[in-house]
């Protein structure tokens, strides 16, 4: 009779071990997927930054969208003129802008693009880090257990 009871307990522990192993496998697979997605996004970000370096005229589309949405350049040229609305001063500002090619929306577009690339890069790094931690789940648990045993042995010596 006792033999039958021990077999039941053994079967229950096997079932728990199997579900635990399946859960660990799922977590590790999710970690690998997250890590590879983070690497892919990071490489795409580097590729986009490199293409903006090689072809800076590609930022023009973003600059036009900023100008259409905010009228930043128009506001800058209208405030540069005199409050009386003299056509001469306003025309001179437009001539200077046309000669120099200075458009504030273009520089704002560069700042926004750089900040977006940095944000996407940071998110990619976080995805790689988190995916690596999930994939190496046992390593962190072992470190935590070692830390706990060190703390317990240190408290016992005091």
Tell me how far apart the alpha carbons of residues 130 and 39 are, in angstroms, rounded to a whole number.
12
> What residue ranges do the domains of the chain occupy?
2-150
User: Residue 3 has what pLDDT?
Assistant: 52
Please give the pLDDT value at position 23.
Answer: 84
pLDDT tens digit sequence for 88-139: 545 554 554 554 467 788 889 999 999 999 999 999 999 999 999 888 876 6
- Beta-carbon contacts of 128 under 8 Å, excluding residues fewer than 6 positions away, are 34, 35, 38, 39, 42
User: Is the sign of the CA dihedral 131, 137, 143, 148 positive or negative?
Assistant: positive
Residue of higher predicted confidence among 107 and 38: 38
The per-residue pLDDT for range 46-96, each reduced to its tens digit, is 999 999 999 988 888 888 888 888 877 777 766 655 455 444 545 554 554
* CA gap 43, 127 in Å, rounded: 13
Residue 79 is predicted with a pLDDT of: 64
Q: Note the pLDDT of residue 37.
A: 97
For residue 130, the model assigns a pLDDT of: 92
Q: Please give the model's pTM, rounded to 2 decimal places.
A: 0.64
Position 41 scores a pLDDT of: 97
User: Cβ–Cβ contacts within 10 Å for residue 118, how many?
Assistant: 12
Q: What is the pLDDT of residue 99?
A: 47
């Amino acid at each position: 009779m006792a033999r039958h009871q021990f077999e039941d307990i053994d079967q229950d522990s096997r079932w728990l071990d199997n579900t635990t192993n399946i859960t660990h496998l799922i977590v590790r697979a999710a970690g690998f997927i997250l890590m590879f997605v983070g690497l892919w996004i990071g490489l795409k970000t580097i590729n986009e930054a490199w293409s903006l370096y090689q072809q800076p005229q590609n930022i023009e589309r973003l600059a036009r969208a900023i100008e259409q949405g905010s009228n930043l350049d128009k506001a800058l040229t209208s405030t540069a003129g005199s409050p009386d609305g003299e056509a001469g001063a306003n025309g001179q500002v437009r001539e200077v802008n046309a000669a120099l090619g200075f458009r504030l929306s273009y520089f704002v577009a560069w700042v926004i693009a750089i900040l977006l690339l940095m944000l996407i890069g940071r998110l990619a790094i976080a995805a790689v880090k988190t995916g690596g931690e999930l994939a190496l789940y046992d390593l962190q648990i072992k470190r935590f257990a070692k830390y706990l045993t060190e703390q317990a042995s240190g408290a016992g010596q005091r």
